[in-house]
Structure 1
Amino acid sequence: MHIIEFAEKGIRKYIPAELSECDTTQYIEMSSLIFQYQFEGLSYKDFRITAFYRLLEMKAVNIGKYDLEKFSNINQYSQLIDTFFEEDTRTKEKKIKQHYIHNPIPKFRGCLRYYYGPADEFNNVSFGEYFDALEAFNDFNDTGETDYLLRLLAILYRKRVLFKKDFDIRQDYDPKKVERRMRAIRFQDKGIIYGCYLWFASFQKYLATAILYIEGKEIDLSVLFSNDGQKQKESKLPGLGMRSVLFSMAESGIFGNLEETRKASMWDVLLRLYDIVKRNADQKANENTK
């Protein structure tokens, strides 16, 4: 968190140093500006200055009331926004700092109702909901078509189911209703649409390095996304990614058939997948000691 002080006026302002420190309003504002900067031609200088104004809840025309010109040039203050990014050591490109898994947009107002998103850490998401969201996420990354951003939002946000606790798996997810929700929320604020994408991206980044503690044991989920440098012989045919996991789990019957597997907890499926990977690794280790 950055602290800005205007001693002569006795004013102290706090602004976030990265997305993880933003409240819901700030997160939506910043997500909208980041989208404009990344996809709509907003220059980085204009992005930085506009973001600075928004985070201070100020309008450019009113900046004089704080006498900022007495303290420093506005461009110097706006450089604080640089902390929202980090430089890729390989490409030297600016990348958004994403180190959060809480849901920064728990709900938003549509035309006729509120739409509610998953709990923090996706704790109440079914594997089917996560699977469909991941497909929309990857499709946007591959094509850049914004319809996939809207689809991701429509998959993860919907009206609240009565008499359900927040930590319950949201069994109400119906992929057949996604298209209808897309039409209902198509004019939603870009900050909400892209903010949902950024949160999902941050969660995916977390999954690739996540370490959980279960029954006092350390569970390193990174093994699900790498083979620790051990190359295995494979055909030249492309794999199915997470779809392969869905099919394999349904085939094994651990959670039931395909539809029942989709309704299982996302975390239960991922932990079961970890268990399978660990058993295979243990088996190979035993074979190497013989």
Structure 2
Amino acid sequence: MPQAVREPDPGPVPGDGTAPEALRADCANCFGLCCVALTLVASSDFAVDKEAGEPCSHLQEDFRCGIHRRLRPAGYPGCTVYDCFGAGQKVSQGVYAGHDWRSRPETAEEMFQVFRVMRQLHEMLSHLTEALALPAAEPIREELCRAHEATERLTREPAGELAGLDATAHRETVAPLLREAGALARATVPGRPPSGRRVAGRAGKRRAGGDLFGARLRGADLRGADLRSACLVAADLTGADLELADVLGADFRDTRLSRADLTATLFLTQVQLNAARGDGATKIPPSLTRPAHWDA
């Protein structure tokens, strides 16, 4: 059997200030930043166009969404997919100490940029926290710890520094470590080919991690598969086993996950689950939440 790869709820890394709960969205302590800081494009995900910096017409004075309970039927399924990884409350209550953009409009533009940067940093922290919990990644634990500490330190920079931070450049220093951690974990799958597990079904001989749009992979053995950045849009993974499959950056829009086993899938995010179509029999990691629309 492969090594256990995910603690149910790993504690903070010694010496850092980011506990797992800080990497989960807490909308009650946010100034509706995702509803104003981001650009929306009219599509199947959003009913209207909205420029960054323009509040959504449904954002109320108390920063709550006026159509939260009916976002999907109202034409805003994209809002139910989004996750800020806890950046919203960090910016609202931490960086700006509870002073919102409405009461201090002179800070609005900077605050929105800080939020966009913080969201990227928190996503990296989430992945690094998971990588540190992988027993197989022990050989690179010190490097992962340094990357985690450096990323967490960036989140504590002053607002002006954060607004000008090149998060993409920092991601380029983190990405190789996450790839290596994933490879070390996938290598523990019994019988896994050294070059990476291939995907069966309509995908033919295409290697996992490529274009699997609409692929029929019902019941597929995807243990240890490299699905990083894979296009799984509308793919059928019903009953598939994704133990130790690396899905960092994979596109799960409308992916069918009924009865699939995702309990030990590597770098799976709430965003990916929210974008997919699962059911009550889909097995998910205890650190993530079953999307409400799966039961609709």
Q: TM-score scaled to structure 1, two decimals?
A: 0.23
* Richer in strand (by share): 1
Select the structure with the greater relative contact order (CA < 8 A; seq sep ≥ 6): 1
Structure whose CA Rg is larger: 1
* Richer in helix (by share): 1
